[in-house]
Amino acid sequence: MGRIEWWSPPIAGNARTTSSDQPRLEFYVRTGNTEDPGKEWSKWFGPYSKSGTSLEAPAARFVQWKAVIHDGRSGDGIDWVSVAYLPKNVAPVIDGIAMQDSGVRLQVTQIITSGQPQNVTLKMPPAPAISGVIQSQNVTVNQPKFEPPPQGFLQKGYQSVLWSAHDDNDDDLKYAVYFRGEGEKEWKLLKDNLEQRYYTFDTTSFADGAYYLKIVASRCGFERFPARAERGEGKRTIRD
Q: Please, are residues 148 and 200 in contact by the beta-carbon 8 Å criterion?
A: no
Better pLDDT: 126 or 13 = 126
pLDDT of residue 70: 85
State the pLDDT confidence band at 224, using cuts at 50, 70 and 90. very low
* pLDDT at residue 173 is higher than 80: yes
Amino acid at 136: S
Better pLDDT: 30 or 60 = 30
* pLDDT at residue 18 is higher than 60: no
Q: What share of the chain in percent tops pLDDT 90? A: 41
Buried b (16+ CB within 10 A) or exposed e, 123-150: eebeebebeeeeeeeeeeeeeeeeeeeb
pLDDT of residue 138: 35
Q: What share of the chain in percent tops pLDDT 70? A: 73
Q: Which tens digit of pLDDT belongs to each residue from 78-128? A: 889 999 877 677 788 899 999 999 999 998 765 555 556 678 888 888 887
Q: Please give the torsion angle defined by the CA atoms of residues 82, 83, 84 and 85, in that order, rounded to the nearest 10 degrees.
A: -160
The lowest-confidence range among 40-44, 62-66, 160-164, 222-226 is 222-226
* pLDDT at residue 47 is higher than 80: yes
* pLDDT at residue 145 is higher than 80: no
- Report cis status (omega within 30 of 0) of the bond before 47: yes
* pLDDT at residue 172 is higher than 60: yes
Report the distance separating Cα 99 and Cα 32, nearest Å.
46
pLDDT of residue 44: 95
* pLDDT at residue 15 is higher than 60: no
Q: Please, are residues 24 and 47 in contact by the beta-carbon 8 Å criterion?
A: no
Residue 79 has what DSSP assignment? S
pLDDT of residue 163: 94
Better pLDDT: 235 or 2 = 2
Amino acid at 29: V
CATH of 93-133+143-238, one of 2.60.40.10, 3.40.50.720, 1.10.3480.10, 3.40.50.20: 2.60.40.10
* pLDDT at residue 134 is higher than 50: no
